[in-house]
Amino acid sequence: MEGWKLLIAFGWLVSTSEGDDPKNILILGGNGFIGAATSERLIAKGNNLVLLNRGNWYWDSQFTVKPHVKHLTCDRQRQLLYCEDLHRLKDTVYFDVVIDFSAYHFEAVEDVLELLKGKIGRYIYISSDSVYEVCQKNHSEPSQESDAVRPFTSEERLLMTGKDDYGHRKLECEEVLVKQRKEGGVPYVLLRLPDVIGPRDNTYRWWMYQMWLKLSGYLERQISIPKFLLNQKLSFVYSLDVADMLVQLTDSDLKNFDNAYNLGTDEMPTLLEVLESMRKHLRVENIPIPVNDSNDAIYLFPSVKLGPIDSSKAKTLLNWRPTSFDNISKQTISFYESAIRNKDFDLARKEIIKNMQAYFTKQPHNVLYGLNGVYGIKYPDTHEEL
């Protein structure tokens, strides 16, 4: 079988030449939120997946993903130089696609490109709209891809970097991919995501708002909108839409590669509109959502200051067709309403309960009373804090 090798060490029959199907895909991360959803879709299509991460399996990914992939336990902060399994694998496998969820430092991207030099067909990097926070955007409209230009002077760059270190580092990762491509390197796509919402979110932000509404009768701190956010338009993206786009990009031709794309919903709701949507689908319309002008007002969205993003480029070139915000809200709420009762998500349930106890009441047992009163759940069986 010309072009195929049997990898005895890994029990795989894989293609070592471009263009064959199924594909060999290296996913850096892939065990939580968008990554797990993407892995599930790629597995269903019959691809050969290698997942490289630190070995944590979030939500139910240990059941839906782990048994169907080759898993390499490596910490990218220690460099891939120390990942012996990947060193052995690189000599026998050509990766048609690398999908990078986990690079937060430019050195991590450089490590992959150096170690797998000549062994990668395309590189898809999951970036963030935080990159615009360190750039010289000079208009008040939604951010476009062309706005990701750093200030010209070193003084201005240093000032911007100090405002958003995360955005600075994500942009540095992008810059590595752009530079290597100009030198004849790997085709790339940069996906700049705003606040991501959907099932299995490890930040728990949406779920915390949802529980804040549901348990409001048991909590001292009532839900509210910070005054400065009252009219601020926000951008979101649905985790499952991103997963679908990633699958599309693994199969597409390369004509629209070597580009950055914003991915967001068509709607740009305010935080009040987001909470009103939650309230509607939770059927708790009687709960007020007042404006809070105090300095200690809690808010979980947005994570950026420069406002929403413009996704028209992705719609034109990638046929990006996002789910409506109302449907995202409905589906996400349904998932978390089920998750609070699902014993398979016990670790996530403990985390959300601890968060509710820490931030929304001075009487932690009230959260447990609320779980019993609202959901009929005696969790845990005692009234002690988790």
pLDDT in tens, 123-151: 999 999 999 999 988 888 999 999 999 98
Same domain, 108 and 213: no
Name every residue whose Cβ is closer than 8 Å to that of residue 67 and which is 6 or more positions away in sequence. Answer: none
**385 in any annotated domain:** no
Res. 17: pLDDT tops 60: no
In 3D, which of 158, 157, 163, 164 has the Cα closest to residue 130?
164
Residue 302 corresponds to which tokens in the numbers above?
Answer: 């947005």
Residue 68 corresponds to which tokens in the numbers above?
Answer: 């169907």
What average pLDDT score do residues 165-193 get?
Answer: 96
DSSP, residue by residue, 250-318: HHS-STT-SEEEE---S----HHHHHHHHHHHHT-TTS---EE-STT------S-SS--B--HHHHHHS
**94 in any annotated domain:** yes
Same domain, 219 and 239: no
**279 in any annotated domain:** yes
* Residues 297-334 pLDDT 10s: 899 999 988 889 999 999 999 999 999 999 999 999 99
In 3D, which of 210, 188, 303 has the Cα closest to residue 256?
188
**7 in any annotated domain:** no
Query: What does the alpha-carbon distance between residue 319 and residue 312 come to, in Å, rounded to a whole number?
Result: 10
Query: What does the alpha-carbon distance between residue 309 and residue 129 come to, in Å, rounded to a whole number?
Result: 7
**Which pLDDT value is given to residue 295?**
78
Cα separation values, 247 from 82, 97, 190, Å: 29, 10, 14
Same domain, 124 and 216: no
Same domain, 172 and 294: no
Res. 18: pLDDT tops 50: no
Residue 140 corresponds to which tokens in the numbers above?
Answer: 């008040």
Same domain, 220 and 194: no
**Which pLDDT value is given to residue 158?**
81
Res. 367: pLDDT tops 80: yes
Average pLDDT, the chain: 89
Residue 328 corresponds to which tokens in the numbers above?
Answer: 């995202």
**382 in any annotated domain:** no
Q: Which residue type sits at 202?
A: N
Specify the higher pLDDT residue, 385 or 279.
279
Q: Are 185 and 191 contacting, i.e. CB atoms less than 8 angstroms apart?
A: no
**4 in any annotated domain:** no
Tell how far CA 374 is from the center of its chain: 30
**Which pLDDT value is given to residue 380?**
61
* Residues 54-85 pLDDT 10s: 888 899 888 999 999 999 888 887 777 778 88
Same domain, 52 and 69: yes
Same domain, 45 and 171: yes
**Which pLDDT value is given to residue 164?**
85
Give the structural domain span for 125: 24-199+235-262
Same domain, 153 and 166: yes
Residue 347 corresponds to which tokens in the numbers above?
Answer: 């670790």
Same domain, 219 and 241: no
**65 in any annotated domain:** yes
What's the structural domain count of the chain? 2
Same domain, 146 and 114: yes
Q: List, in sequence order, every beta strand (DSSP E) within the chain.
A: 4-7, 12-15, 24-28, 48-53, 70-73, 97-100, 123-128, 188-193, 195-197, 225-226, 236-238, 259-262, 291-292
**60 in any annotated domain:** yes
Q: What is the CATH number of the domain that holds 35?
A: 3.40.50.720
Same domain, 55 and 176: yes
Query: What does the alpha-carbon distance between residue 236 and residue 263 come to, in Å, rounded to a whole number?
Result: 8
Q: Are 225 and 279 contacting, i.e. CB atoms less than 8 angstroms apart?
A: no
Same domain, 176 and 56: yes
